[in-house]
Each structure stands twice: as C-alpha cells, then as structure tokens.
Amino acid sequence: MFSAKLTSHVTLNALRRIHHGPCFYSMPSCFHHKEGGRTRHSNHTETNILGRVDPSANRPPVRLHRTHNHGRRSFGFSAANIVNSAPVPVQPYLRLMRLDKPIGTWLLYLPCTWSIALASDPGCLPDLCMLSLFGTGAVLMRGAGCTINDMWDKDFDTKVSRTASRPIASGEISQRQALVFLGGQLSLALGILLCLNYYSIALGAASLSLVITYPLMKRITYWPQFVLGLTFNWGALLGWAAVKGSCDWSVCLPLYFSGVMWTLIYDTIYAHQDKEDDIKVGVKSTALRFQDTTKRWLSGFTVAMISGLVVAGVNAEQTLPYYAVLSTVAVHLTHQIYSVDINNPEDCWKKFVSNRNLGLLLFLGIVAGGLWKERKETLLQDEETAR
C-alpha cells in the first residue's frame, strides 16, 4: 500500500512538472514576459500623467503564480483590477480619469508631500490628515486633467491605435458626458480645497488655468513638459501654505523649481517612447526638440534640480539625513540618465516609473531630517545646561 501511494504521488508530481513547469500562470490565453524581475503583459497601452501613451497597459489585473509550496497560488492585485471589478457602466469613467493607472497620481502627489514634510515642526512627523487630503485631491485633479486632455485630444487619439480605445475617442463617453463628469471631479476637488485656509484656497484656485491649458501646449511648443512641470508641482507651493498659512518663498520657490526640473527629466524620458506617434499626429515634445542631445539636457536639469533642493533644505534648516538622501537621489538620477536607452521604449518606461521611488525616497529624507532637528536642538540645550 505504501509503495502504491508513493508511486501515485511521484507520477502526479511528474505530470504537473511536464504540463506546467515549475512556475506557471493560470491564464493560458495571455502571453507574458519577464522584465526586471517583474512579469509584464505583452500588449502595452497604458497612459501616463495627463494622457501620454504608456507601454504597460492591459496587464492582467490578477496574476496567479504557481509556488513551490505544494501548488498553492498567491494572488497579486493591481489598480486595474479595482477598476475592472467596478460596475460596467462606471468603468469607462474610471478609465477616463486613469484610476487604473496610478503613476501619474503619484508624480502629482509627491511634491505635495515634500512641501508638507518641510513645513512640519522640528521633531514632528508630517500631518497625516493633511497628507490624506492632498492624496485625495491628487487623485481628483489628475483625473480632471486626464478628462480635459482627452476632450481636447479626441481627434488625435482616434488616429493612433494605442489611444483609439480611450473612452471618449472610442465613443463610450460623449463630450457632453465627459463635461458633466469633469464638473463632478472639480466640484469634489473644490470641496477638499475648501478644507484649507483662505490663502491656500486662493493659491489652489490659481492652478486651474494650468490644468486646463496644459493639453494644448503640445500643439504650439516643443516644451509641453515644462508646462506640465508648472502644473504638476503646484503642490510644492500649496503644501507649505496649507500647513503654515502662507508661503515662505525662500523655501517654496526653490522646491517648486526643483520639481519642475524633475518633471522635465522624467517626462522627457517618457516622451521618447512616443516620438513616432507624435510626428505622425503633428504634436511636439522635448524629446523631439532634444533628440540626440537629450542626455546633455537631462544632465543640466539634474544639476538644477539638486541645486534647488539644496537651497530649499538650507532655508528650511534641514539636517544631515536630508542631505544624505539628497546625495542618493543625485546618484539615482545620474545612473538613470547615463543608462537610459532613448530608442528603447521598454527601457524608457522602466526609467520613468523609477521616479516614483525617487520621490518617495526624497520624502523620507525630508521626514528624517525634520525628526533629526529635535535631536540636534536637544544636544544644544544639554551643552548650554552643562556650561
């Protein structure tokens, strides 16, 4: 009896290995490939920030992995899975605001977190309530920006296969429905803005003109990434004002400037993925402007970004942890620019996405530097007492 059970068990395991291999996916109709230790779908159509085409779309929302732990499966969920689980009539609106593609929301939100953290009192963590308000606002304003972008770009989107499936371009949502939806998003964002002080309300309202006009810039200038930087980094001003009641321009302006330089870096890299499509539909970008000189331009933007962050740190009386992290950020950007292959869309996408982690790292450095201030002040007080 024992030998029979053993034979049966061995035979079953052998069949499993032959049929599936040591690691398989339970979605046989989808072809996957590995990149950088991460499984990615072979059909890419995601969009970034306010509407550019993203090469990582249509990833399977739920990935089932064979493990070596007696065949049990582990589940991985994505933002796309949340959208796909929503009621069918709602899904086009969620896709219109790019809720299934959160990278743009992160890049809009992170400058807000830097400013909020810099404005925190010495030895204190950033205000969690304020971080939550700005996070919700980032989702809504990024969604509003994407809606405006798609309303402006409907005719362009229908000419490019990768954007033809967008809700407005494909006819899932009419221009009128999109306008009503836009009004709803802006109304909710206004409700969040009204939770702040009067100075912040006025400052936040001033950014609306940039949100509306940014999508038009790629029609008239090779520098739409610069206008995107002005738009996406407004939170560097607004975050400090929300905490302190007004802007300390000696801190906020260099921080804002650094954020604009950062956007020029990551979105120029991203724009190199769309060079052929941009020429096809007749729109402009810094990628087309810089071409083979891109790395020299990006190096200059990096120097300017780090310089601005140093000035902001000095004026905010930041401490050693902040500058240590800032050095790491500089190394990351240097490697990113040196190693990026501007003619390889997959590599451009990988470098572009890495900026989310860079922004999070800088936020942690600001928080650590703020907490270190208390220790520094305590040591000074102890020295004075000893004297």
The string of pLDDT tens digits covering residues 141-158 is 999 999 998 898 887 777
Q: Answer yes or no: is pLDDT of 379 > 70.
A: no
Looking at residue 50, its amino acid is L
Percent of the chain at pLDDT > 70 equals: 76
Which DSSP string do the residues of 266-320 spell out, in sequence order? HHHHHHGGGHHHHHHHT---HHHHHGGGHHHHHHHHHHHHHHHHHHHHHHTT--H
pTM over 0.75: yes
For residues 65, 79, 151, 159, the Cα torsion angle rounded to the nearest 10 degrees is -10
Model confidence at 194: pLDDT above 70: yes
Position 282 pLDDT exceeds 90: no
CA dist 284 and 215 (Å) reads 11
In the prediction, which pLDDT does 377 show? 61
Separation between Cα atoms, residue 227 and residue 75, nearest integer Å: 40
pLDDT at 324: 97
pLDDT of residue 26: 35
Q: What is the pLDDT of residue 385?
A: 64
- pLDDT tens digits, one per residue of 70-86: 444 444 468 888 888 88
Interatomic CA distance for residues 63 and 191, integer angstroms? 37
Mean pLDDT value across the chain: 82
> 333 vs 231, 318, 349, 371, CA distance in Å?
22, 21, 15, 26
pLDDT at 161: 67
Both tokens of residue 351?
């470098």
Instruction: Say which range, 207-211, 228-232, 340-344, 352-356, has the weakest mean pLDDT.
Output: 207-211
Express each pLDDT in 83-104 by its tens digit: 888 899 999 999 999 998 899 9
Fold classification of 88-376 is Tetracycline Repressor; domain 2 (1.10.357)
Each residue of 223-251: pLDDT tens digit?
Answer: 999 999 999 999 999 999 999 999 999 99
pLDDT at position 181, please? 95
Q: Which residues contact 381 (CB under 8 A, 6 or more apart)?
A: none
- pLDDT tens by residue, 109-130: 999 999 999 999 999 999 999 9
pLDDT tens sequence across 18-72: 344 433 333 333 333 333 333 333 344 444 444 444 444 444 444 433 334 444 4
Both ends of the chain: CA-CA distance in Å?
86
- Give percent of the chain above pLDDT 90: 62
Query: Domain limits of the chain?
Result: 88-376
Closest Cα to residue 50, out of 204, 267, 208, 206?
Answer: 267
Q: Is 36 left (phi over 0), alpha (psi -120 to 50) or beta?
A: left
